[in-house]
Chains A and B, each alone.
Chain A
Amino acid sequence: MRNEPSDILNEFRLGDLAAFETLFRLHQRAVYGWILRIVRDPSAAEELTVETFWRIYRAHARFQPSRGFEAWARRIASRASLDWLRTQRPETELPADLPAPATTDPAITDEIRRKTAQAFQRLPPRLRVAAVLAIIEDQPHKDVAAALGVSVSAVKLRVFRALRLLRKDLEKQGITP
């Protein structure tokens, strides 16, 4: 986590645009990366980064410098991403430029992979975000909890429920995971 000079944080809190730009330049990459991990769509991630920084600036008076900018920004970014996921139809096609797995298990066919990805898209967004960050992106539960504004046990519960629903969905399609 970066440490910004406290005067920049205090100036931002007072609504100073130059301080906000400094913070934007320092954190846009991290915020964009975090959003991309959740939404997995580069163009949506760009739009959501803009939306996140707009929300950040709008809430500048509520910012507490002692709690750090990055964690706060990440929390706002997670909320913006979740709002966006809620507006997407579950049938939306996955972006074509999704990364391929580094190592593929021969027991898992392309068809199973595709159906799993589609079933994952059908999960409630709240569960999907927790699962994508904790399982796919391998982020520590503590960080996921902080970003989502919930407890670590709530993250674990969401991940468990996501996996259970995913399994049920696949079983309905005749796939026994």
Chain B
Amino acid sequence: MSTNDELHMKKLLQQALPPVEGNLEPGRDLWPSVLRRLDAKTSALPWFDWALVAGLIAFAAFFPASIPVFLYYL
């Protein structure tokens, strides 16, 4: 693609998708949503915690004799 082609494509793109101008402000106060998001995410257990719990349950199912050992260390 030559420099002329490149310039032409740029012009075409600018005509097809003009820049976003004017009021670049959110239509509402987003702080309450951020707080809700922080609360929701902090209360959820991360995936690796669930994987650990699942692993422990599986281990206990295959080796029931290990249950008292787990309980001892809890």
Contacts and interface: CB of A to CB of B under 8 A. Distances in A.
A104 B38 CA distance: 45
A163 B27 contact: no
A37 B17 CA distance: 11
Contacts of B16: 108, 112-114, 116-117, 120
A100 B16 CA distance: 9
B65 interface: no
Interface in A1-56: 21, 24-25, 28-29, 32-33, 36-37, 40, 42, 45-46, 49-51, 53-54
A166 B20 CA distance: 21
Interface of B: 1, 5-6, 8-22, 24-28, 30-31, 33-34, 37-38, 41
30 contacts: A24-B34, A25-B31, A28-B30, A32-B26, A33-B24, A37-B20, A46-B26, A46-B33, A49-B26, A50-B33, A53-B34, A54-B34, A54-B37, A54-B41, A57-B34, A58-B41, A98-B17, A98-B18, A99-B21, A116-B12, A116-B13, A116-B15, A116-B17, A136-B19, A137-B20, A163-B6, A166-B13, A167-B5, A167-B9, A177-B9
Secondary structure of the B contact surface, majority rule: helix
Given A167-B1, A177-B9, A28 B26 contact: yes
B8 A137 contact: no
A2 B49 CA distance: 40
Contacts of A163: 1, 6, 9-10, 13
Contacts of A21: 31
A120 B17 contact: yes
A29 B25 contact: yes
Given A120-B16, A120-B17, A135-B13, A164 B34 contact: no
Interface residues of A, number: 46
